[in-house]
Structure 1
Amino acid sequence: MTAKIHRGVSLYSFQEEMFLGRMTVEDCVSFAASIGAKGIEVLPEQNMPTFPNLTDAQVEEWKEMVARHGCHFTAYDMFLDTKRRKDRLMSDDEQVESIKRDLLLCNRLGIRNMRVLVFVRPDILGRCVPYAEEMDVHMGVEVHAPWHLEHAWILRTIEEADRLNTKHLGILPDMGIFMKHYPPAFRARFERQGARPEVAQFIVDQHEAKIMCEYTIYEVAVKMGGNKAEIAMAETLRHAPYANPKRIGDYVPYFRHIQAKFYEMNEDCTDPAIAYDEVIPELVKAGWEGTLSSEYEGNRWIQDVHEVDSREQVRRQHVMFERLIADAETKFGAKEQA
């Protein structure tokens, strides 16, 4: 068995530094290369000022910049604003044309994976499959909390891919669906906003016991007389699922890229919330081939108290990735392909 798990970074991870002008896109790529995370996930609408109108010269400049650092593009994050029209929703035909536009740019950039937002209808994507096949781009619907791998909506996309017998439509898991423990950064932020420690602990305990989130919200809001911060903390449980890591191997044929969501990394390079130590062994066991692409979203939870250091957080995650992949390969007799 040969594992082919590669490491990469979404440029979204550095949103804080880029917004503040402390890092350029090339700085992000250079840093990713320095930690061996050579796959670059790009968000054209955010990272390319002239999007969607890129000249051939601009496309080549992007390719050359990434290659200059020994990196390569792994995924293209598309956005479909169905309310883009001022007075109405986009029609089905307009949605298809928008997706086709993204597929074309994806192809021009030499990218073979496109992240599709979870709300895009399976039948719309089905209409785009012939063009995706022509462009040789895999359309992966993001499996983002509160959805999960076995949610009926996600299964509809898989059913559409099976119906069309295509390898160019599937899913793209976001690791936020494997939140085993409540993130300490979340709790700390809500306590700074006025959540009482005993109420915060109740919410954490409820998540640890995997109690249905609506029960917890009711308990906090009604029975405990929760304040604004406490109710908001309880409501985050709606987006804090813990899907079964053992099922991820069943869906390996349908995805080629993973958004490795995380909110914080401990100093010992462990994740206190998301069950990477359970997911990565399942990926190795299944022989999955693709890229684990860091997606750091912890900045918004700490920026009120101290400066954000996205680079250090991403670095720690990749130390964890290297360790977990190596351990799993030893266990399952696989050999890493860097």
Structure 2
Amino acid sequence: MSNVKLGATLFCYGTEYARFEYDFEECVKKAALAGAQGYEIVATQMIPSYPNVSDEFLGKVHALKEKYGIGPVSYAANNDKGMRNDRNLTDDEMLADAIIDLKSANKLGCKVMRVQYMMSPEAFERLAPYAELFDVHCGIEIHNPETPNSPNMQRYLEVIKRTGSKYLGFVPDFGFLSVQPNKPQWMKALKAGVKEEHLQLAAKLRRDGVSQEECIQQVMAAGASPAIMPAIAGMFGFVQFHDEKDLPELLQELRDILPYSFECHGKFHYLDEACHEASIPYNEIIPVLIEEGFDRYLICEYEDELYCGGTEFTKRQMIMEKKLLGIK
């Protein structure tokens, strides 16, 4: 049996939360019922006093831990360099914001903080002593369309190796291992009147490595509905996918950075009733975690492109992960 710990980001229930169907407590409760041993909190989404953590909110977190048996293990920071309308934030300003996030993560008892790559490698390097001071491990999120070997991520790896800090590392998001088109976007395109053959053509062109512009030209020349555009944008953007023949190389990239990874994000977009994720090959990914002895948190993370809520899909994701990990 694997030593991987299972968690869930409360972002899984973001749709229900935004619709006022769930409050913070209900999100924690649903994560516990799904089988999470701990949860990630997206700070800007669910901390009323963000960027600080009030004593009142901290008390609620402790009370819910007593009630449901799980508490926050990961703090998802939003490193937003576009907060001003006249210029991007400087490295000094990004660092200052991240230090406040570290303080809040520490107060909540989180040992991991997700950092986004809008924070430059230079600022990330300067974060190390503060991470050590607050005893919070800072992981740059490797999110589609980035992969561990992409030039941008390699710059962070250089920082991690050069500093030797045990508090700087990665949080790989398994979306970068997608090998099929995003099913929710595909479903929405079909509902909007796009023909299956035109979606298949777009997917083939994406696999063939053509540019997004050329893909659009060829698909539109074939008579596709303009409603296909969001699906094409996804294929070339944050939910892009790789050819299955490239999967072994991508899995090796994952192996290479696991020793520097403080947690993993188990991204999912759509699971059928058999608990099979439509585009991310978990039957290939989970064995890598087991073989490499990964013993930290695998955080379920649902992206609700269908706006249907994450409750049922999060349950299915947990069932699938437990089966693959050999957890009863």
Q: TM-score, normalised by structure 2?
A: 0.91
Q: Secondary structure at the match of 1:118?
A: coil
**Which structure 2 segments of 5+ residues have no match?**
none
Q: Secondary structure at the match of 2:52?
A: coil
The separation in 1 between residues aligned to 2:77 and 2:309, in whole angstroms, is 26
Contact 2:80-2:118 at 8 Å conserved across structures: no
Alignment of 1:300 with 2:305, yes or no, is: yes
Contact 2:128-2:167 at 8 Å conserved across structures: yes
**What is the letter of the counterpart of residue 211 of structure 1?**
D
* Other-structure match for 2:166: 167
Alignment of 1:115-130 (within 5 A): 115-130=114-129
The separation in 2 between residues aligned to 1:227 and 1:138, in whole angstroms, is 47
- Give how far 1:225 is off: 4.9
Q: Secondary structure at the match of 1:124?
A: helix
Alignment of 1:214-233 (within 5 A): 214=211, 217-221=215-219, 223-233=221-231
Distance 1:218 1:86, change over 3 A: closer
Alignment of 1:35-114 (within 5 A): 35-114=34-113
Contact 1:213-1:237 at 8 Å conserved across structures: no
- Give how far 1:59 is off: 2.0
* Other-structure match for 2:233: 235
Contact 2:185-2:230 at 8 Å conserved across structures: no
* Other-structure match for 2:320: 320
Q: Secondary structure at the match of 2:170?
A: strand
Alignment of 1:257 with 2:263, yes or no, is: yes
1:269-307, Cα deviation, whole Å (9 max, x unpaired): 11121111111001100001211111111x333x4xxxx
**What is the letter of the counterpart of residue 277 of structure 2?**
D
Runs of 4+ deviating beyond 4 Å: none
The separation in 2 between residues aligned to 1:259 and 1:151, in whole angstroms, is 18
**What is the letter of the counterpart of residue 241 of structure 1?**
F
Contact 1:220-1:230 at 8 Å conserved across structures: no
- Give how far 1:111 is off: 0.4
**What is the letter of the counterpart of residue 141 of structure 1?**
I
**Which structure 1 segments of 5+ residues have no match?**
327-335
1:67-120, Cα deviation, whole Å (9 max, x unpaired): 421112121111122122343322221111111000111111110111111221
- Give how far 1:206 is off: 4.3
* Other-structure match for 1:12: 11
Q: TM-score, normalised by structure 1?
A: 0.88
Q: Secondary structure at the match of 2:236?
A: helix
The separation in 2 between residues aligned to 1:218 and 1:22, in whole angstroms, is 39
Q: Choose 221-230 or 117-126, whichever is displaced more.
A: 221-230
1:48-77, Cα deviation, whole Å (9 max, x unpaired): 112123333432332332342111212111
**What is the letter of the counterpart of residue 214 of structure 1?**
S
Count of residues paired in the alignment: 319
Q: Secondary structure at the match of 1:161?
A: helix
- Give how far 1:221 is off: 4.7
